[in-house]
Amino acid sequence: MRTSTRLRQMLDQPGLIVAPGAYDGFSARLIEAAGFRCVYMTGAGTAASHLGQPDLGLATLTEMANHASHLAACVTLPVIADADTGYGNVLNVVRTVREYERAGVAGLHIEDQVAPKKCGHIAGKQIIPTQEFCDKIRAAAEYRTDPDFVIIARTDARAVTNLDDAIERGNRAAEAGADVIFVEAPQTLDEIQRVAREVKAPLLANMV
């Protein structure tokens, strides 16, 4: 069974999926050895370990896809990989999805920051218009070759505009075809609970 199919089956079940962040093959193997069911290839961790640089959009599509392929080859678990902004416009997103599928990961996330992006916990981020974000997500969903490949839409709107905008973007992205919505950087437990109530899709929460 493909790891993408296994991940989708996990998403169809109730409860949480805990996916610790991996930055190289060794950390991915430690996650598997510890008994977790899924691995998340962190973009910040990859930039730090692979380039020795902060997460400022310096890693290219080729570098990230190659790194993802190494992690996926090291473990039997589904690997979800950070794909930053999709590395360009809608056409670039289509190529990104194909390269990540070829890398053997089970899914990816694409975010709504202006390129070059910044780590979600760094000030000064900018976001693209909602419609442009949704066009990217729609392209990712429509042009994946594996129907089980999981598309996660991440919005950084909470830190740039407000939570209302983040929730609206999440729901719009779900309508565009995202399988999971990732609202980055909620500030309180109440905000996390509100996202869970108002976003009509499976959710990802990032704990740093």
The catalytically annotated residue of 67, 154, 158, 169 is 154
For residues 41 and 75, give the distance between their C-alpha atoms in angstroms, rounded to a whole number: 12
The catalytically annotated residue of 89, 92, 171, 206 is 206
50 labelled catalytic:
no
Q: Which residues, in sequence order, are CB contacts of 26 under 8 Å at separation 6+?
A: 74
The catalytically annotated residue of 8, 23, 38, 55 is 55
119 labelled catalytic:
yes
206 labelled catalytic:
yes
The catalytically annotated residue of 99, 101, 111, 112 is 111
148 labelled catalytic:
no
The catalytically annotated residue of 32, 119, 135, 148 is 119
The catalytically annotated residue of 8, 67, 109, 138 is 109
The catalytically annotated residue of 8, 23, 67, 84 is 84
82 labelled catalytic:
yes
55 labelled catalytic:
yes
Q: Is the peptide bond before 116 cis (omega within 30 degrees of 0)?
A: yes
109 labelled catalytic:
yes
Token pair 């429509």 is found at 142
Give the β-pairing of 180-183 and 150-155.
Answer: parallel
The catalytically annotated residue of 23, 40, 87, 100 is 40
The catalytically annotated residue of 38, 74, 82, 134 is 82
CA distances from 78 to 2, 25, 96, 165, 193 (A): 9, 13, 18, 31, 27
**45 contacts 23 by C-beta, under 8 angstroms:** yes
144 labelled catalytic:
no
**Residues known to be catalytic:** 40, 55, 82, 84, 109, 111, 119, 154, 184, 206
